[in-house]
Structure 1
């Protein structure tokens, strides 16, 4: 280490992470094998692989939606295996935002109310919820659509609402699972450009995809195959 330099704690750090479903049975599936991954704060990383390669399983473990069968996962320096259910829920709420291929918006609620919803679980007062939700929608370019319901928005606008909702608690980590999969190519490019802006604002973005063109927008690409993770050969990264 350079004298005077301090070690920087990765936001995401997995050590020998493994996941086996139905162990010891005829239905046993080894979904992850000895995955070592380190992601720094403010990094935009893509995890690429075909269906069944283990990439969504890895995302679920990083997002604390599932527990590993082997290995360790440190989120912002905290070993998540040491946390109880309440502490895990608080970590997910405060540190991790999720964006999925399906937008998962409530159809009878406005964009503003959809975005504000997570703040209710955090017991934020109603007036502050709406103020923060409005600011989040403005940050993703939807300040003029706050009162629109999902069926009054395009697919790209609905995904922006979902991203604003994921960001409402100011998480340091944004996990995006095939976020452009339901969008046309032009709208997908706009969403990927938004992820780059979020990275520039200091968010750590982990993008799960099967599409090499989508993955190329990230700063770094890892490839998954049969539950194993490998750093991809560095090539031209789209800007």
Structure 2
């Protein structure tokens, strides 16, 4: 008999779920009972996203693939509408999509800096903007955002990306003050020592995905604006 799991009957949206950490998180949530909307950005990621859905479905859960540019309002709306059409509600949002830019500061332009901020902050902002009202309507929600370690440690060539990662921390810490008395939480996971291409196999993420499962569960009711830093 399949165990119920900590996330039984929950619905999750995972952005950037075609491969790597996003896929691992989506599968980990499904292992605990969640049905998952699996977002990806590029058309050529369709096959990889479909494989993520296959792994979710192999666990007896529903996995639905949605392609969209969530840095644009219409794209984020598309993902939200897919979740509503399939499940009528969303309990968990994992903001994992992002654009990792390495560019020495001497070659940085304002346009590139702003584009990096928009690519990393914009999608998270818009997904929260669309899904938070659904969570408020049910007085329940879990928002978990992936934050790169450059937000904590910095790195050469990462001024724009590090600034965007730090902005996600500040966004999350302030967002929690908007929830009122609802059982809604927002927290971050800042993984350490990621594979160089951030696209490792499932075993590379075994030490990281439990942090997401915990923050997505009822057990994390007292975690408010916190950042967990697991390493594989």
Q: What is the TM-score when the length of structure 2 is the normalising length?
A: 0.35
More strand by share: 1
More helix by share: 2
**Greater RCO (CA < 8 Å, at least 6 residues apart):** 1
* Structure showing greater Rg: 1
